[in-house]
């Protein structure tokens, strides 16, 4: 599945709900489905700056594609990073660098987050893109 196909699937999933409480619950459920992050990766290096909550993101390269694992100490934040991983996981660094993450606005996520969570979302996207850039230079 391409990044845009994954984004379109997320948009379709979120369009099933009109109430934002249901959408928040979906984010929480997504976060709960994340594979647990190995404790060795819960370190300062993997901690994303700019998030109100603590969010760790580990990135590894496998067969030329980036694989992300993550965890957070806050349910909605964990759901947000899970959503980003759902869209961007298992793609090449260049695909991630070139990705226009239109799904964030299409599902209304940015508008329904507090300013601090919205900043955290931006920090998560920046970190993922930074990993992609770093791996593209190898």
**Tokens representing 135?**
């791996």
Contact present, 131 and 123 (Cβ < 8 Å): no
DSSP state, residue 69: E
Q: How far apart are the first and last CA of the chain?
A: 25
Provide φ and ψ at 27, rounded to 5°.
Answer: -60, -45
The region, left, alpha or beta by phi > 0 then psi within -120 to 50, assigned to residue 114 is: beta
Q: Rounded distance, CA 51 to CA 94, Å?
A: 25
Catalytic residue check, 51: yes
Contact present, 3 and 99 (Cβ < 8 Å): yes
Selecting among 3, 27, 48, 51, the annotated active-site residue is: 51
Catalytically annotated residues: 51
């Amino acid at each position: 599945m391409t990044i845009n196909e994954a984004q379109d699937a997320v948009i379709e999933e979120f369009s099933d709900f009109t109430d934002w409480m249901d959408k928040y619950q979906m984010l929480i459920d997504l976060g709960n489905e994340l594979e647990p992050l190995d404790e060795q990766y819960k370190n300062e290096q993997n901690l994303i700056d700019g998030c109100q909550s603590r969010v760790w993101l580990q990135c590894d390269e496998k067969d030329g594609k980036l694989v992300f694992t993550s965890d957070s100490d806050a349910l909605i934040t964990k759901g947000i990073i899970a959503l980003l991983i759902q869209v961007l996981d298992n793609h090449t660094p260049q695909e991630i660098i070139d990705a226009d993450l239109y799904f964030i606005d299409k599902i209304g996520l940015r508008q329904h987050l507090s300013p601090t969570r919205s900043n955290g979302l931006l920090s998560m996207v920046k970190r993922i893109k930074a990993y992609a850039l770093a791996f593209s230079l190898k």
